[in-house]
Amino acid sequence: MSIVFLVSVLVFLIAIAAIKPSLKGTIAVIAVILHSFMSTWLAVKSMGGNNYSEILYGGLIFGDIAVRLDPLSAWFVLLTNFTAITGILYGNRYLARYNNSSSDLSVHYAAYIINHAALTGIYFIQNSLAFLCSWELMALSAFMLVIFEHGRMDTLKAGINYLIQSHISIVLLTLGFIWVYTKTGSLDFNAIRAYGFAGGKGANLLLFMTFFTGFGIKAGFVPFHTWLPYAHPAAPSHVSGVMSGVIIKTGIYGILRVILLMPDNKLAIGYIILAVSVLSGLYGVLLAIVQHNLKRLLAYHSIENIGIIGIGIGVGTIGSGLNNPYLTFTGYAGALLHILNHSLFKSLLFYTAGSVYQALHTLSIDRMGGLIKKMPKTAALFLLASLAICGLPPLNGFVSEFLIYSGLFSTVVHDQTPVTMVLTIVGLSLIGGLAILCFTKAFGIVFQGSERKSSPVPVQEVSEAELFPKYLIALVIVLIGLFPQIFIRLLQKPVSSFITVPFTTEYSGLITLMQNISLTAWVFLVIVVLITVARKVFQNKTKSTQATWGCAYKTNSPKLQYTATSFVRPYVKIIKPILFIKKSDAEITQIIPEKIYSESHFYDKIENTLVDWPTRNLRGFLGKFKFLQNGSVQFYVLYGVVFIGICIAIPLIINGLIYLTDILKQL
């Protein structure tokens, strides 16, 4: 199967390069769907209990390459394939509006196919060296996807930032695997378990922290998140959806895989993950609320949702440490379901944001408004995804967060680590409430109200072909909300890998609880439908329209509406200490003032401290040596001569010192 998959990838890459530009997207769509079908077939069998296993010959370098698919990997394969398919279907229509060259399209679609293959490889491969190769391939192909608009300097900066931090992640993962290999002599993932039994608890915890940091950079945990708010806005919207939906989830997969292989320190690992995750969730949503750029706002919500997923993982790991099967199941099941949920509503949000961007040619929220009248279907899809990401019933985000809440409250009831869990409940509640504030602002200002700035071309709804992948995502979002018990049953196999004690009665009770939630969701839906029908039937048929009260202003100006900044002004005053604010405005100097402009930009203090400040200082230090690059050929020849002289002199000096040391010893 692996050989067939690789040959198929190569065939499609050659076809992408050779075929005419108008068909490149079609070939990419066929390739992604075919490759998804191949891996989905194996994943479905694995979810049913028939795990896939294969040993490939990797020669003297790799040794035997273990290719295995268990239910945990299968879950990630399934959600990755769905998002990859919707991404390429949407991206094919999205890129049709660009006038890029044929070579740009070839590179982009080839990178998309390679990225999908690399993602699949990450979930299949359990040989550390081959895994790192697949991880590197994923990072490089994602970099090529991000810099599609490489003519823009900010896009290149964002891509390079992502590439550098991705390779910091790779270095840390390499160190972790080398550590295991030097102790066990094996490249197989099972060597991590063998090392866990042989090493002490302190060494195991240090090894886990090495892996957690490496995978955490890719996932976007705070403070390793600084690449994420740059890469998402710079990439095309279908790439942003795939990056947020599935690429950052490879970090979560890596953390789960390491936890599964670590035999000790479950409580300590759980508390570490829980603390980092609560911080990530709160910090991500706090920064999201103040953003003016729509895709940057969504990028910070990816950090927030990674925090929610991490809370679930932390709760599940603590449950393993306490031998509490209910806590373990609800934590891990909530995390795994939220991984799927986030891939759905976040990709839908990025796809709708891309449609808005192509309609208005701006991502500034303050320049939008009134789009619900011109793009009603896009507005409805954005609203659906917004409600889902806020965790409101009866949609999918509520189900996964309810599972995590259920586990947290069970520990409080049974008096197991109540203080920690109560603080986590408070943190998770704050995350949900602040998310509602953020998306109230985003939807209200982007889609409601009046148009703030006229567009150079008429704004209209996107085509049905572009809406089709969004409808698919919306359908699954609603299905999870209305039939949660089905997806909980699907999660039984992946989660059972983490549970070491019998879990029968509690599981039956949880399924019953999910069925009650499903029934409640259906009742709510029926009530909404009945109210809507009754309103249509009994409302007064004669309609009268009046001008909105303008607060004593006779002129109805769009400038009187809330802006993104004014909407959250009271909130900004509260969280000002954690923000780095740049404000530019002009003073009023006349009785009848001229037009003035005021802009405020909010930056991440962690980003400024960990990335911007060191970069500025390094650039300033290197700038002191600019005189060396003076354009003179004679000086460059001199540099070469000096370098050769140094290379000759250093060994002579070292040998001389050794000779002098020997003489002194004889004396």
- For the stretch 483-535, pLDDT in tens is 888 888 888 889 888 887 666 666 677 888 888 888 888 888 888 888 888 88
Give the ranges where 262-324 is alpha helix by DSSP (H): 266-289, 294-321
Task: Specify if 606 maps to a domain.
Answer: yes
Using CA of residue 659, residue 665, residue 666, residue 667, what is the dihedral sign? positive
Strand duo 579-585 + 598-604: pairing: antiparallel
The answer to whether the CB of 257 falls within 8 A of the CB of 249 is no
Task: Give the chain's radius of gyration (CA, Å).
Answer: 28
User: For residue 277, is pLDDT > 90?
Assistant: yes
Domain shared by 516 and 383, yes or no: yes
- Residue 321, pLDDT score: 85
Return the half-sphere exposure (C-beta side, CA atoms, 13 A cut-off) of residue 17. 6
Token pair belonging to 581: 């604010």
471, 323: one domain? yes
405 vs 143: CA distance, rounded Å: 37
Domain assignment present for 383: yes
Supply the pLDDT for residue 194: 80
Q: Taking 80 as the threshold, does the pLDDT of residue 559 lie above it?
A: no
Residue 37 domain flag: no
Q: How many CB atoms lie within 10 A of CB 118?
A: 23
Number of domains making up the chain: 3
User: What is the dihedral angle through the alpha carbons of 388, 391, 397, 401, rounded to the nearest 10 degrees?
Assistant: 170
For residues 603 and 652, state if they share a domain: no
* Residue 331: inside a domain: yes
Please write the tens of the pLDDT for every residue from 647-656: 888 888 888 8
Exposure of 89 in the CB half-sphere (CA atoms within 13 A):
20
In this structure, is residue 238 part of a structural domain? Answer: no
Q: How far apart are CA 397 and CA 388, in angstroms?
A: 5
Q: What residue type is 631 in one-letter code?
A: G
Residue with tokens 């936890």: 259
Q: What is the three-class DSSP state of 629?
A: coil
Q: Is the pLDDT of residue 255 over 90?
A: yes
Q: Are residues 608 and 520 in the same domain?
A: no
Asked if residue 433 and residue 289 are part of one domain, the reply reads yes
Buried b (16+ CB within 10 A) or exposed e, 348-370: bbbbbbbbbbbbbeebebbbbbb
3-state secondary structure of 644: helix
Do 489 and 574 lie in one domain? The reply is no
Same domain, 494 and 639: no
Q: Are residues 371 and 430 in the same domain?
A: yes
Name the residue among 581, 580, 618 with its Cα closest to residue 164: 618
In 3D space, the residue among 443, 446, 466 whose CA is nearest the CA of residue 389 turns out to be 443
- Say if 313 falls within a structural domain: yes
Token pair 């239910």 is at which residue?
Answer: 71
486 lies in the same domain as 631: no
614 plus 634 within the same structural domain: no
Is the per-residue pLDDT at 560 higher than 80?
A: no
Residue bearing the bigger pLDDT, 263 or 329: 329
Which ranges in 577-612 belong to alpha helices (H)?
A: 605-607
Planar angle of CA 242, 436, 318, nearest 5 degrees: 70
Do 636 and 609 share a structural domain? no
Tell me the pTM: 0.87
**Based on the domain organization, do 467 and 328 belong to the same domain?**
yes
Could you tell me the two tokens for 134? 């697949």
* DSSP track, 192-225: HHHHHHHS-HHHHHHHHHHHHHHHHHHHT-TTS-
Contact 225, 180 (CB under 8 A): no
Q: Is residue 518 part of a domain?
A: yes
pLDDT band at 550 (very low <50, low <70, confident <90, very high): low
Residue 614 maps to a domain = yes
Range of the domain at 617: 565-586+595-623
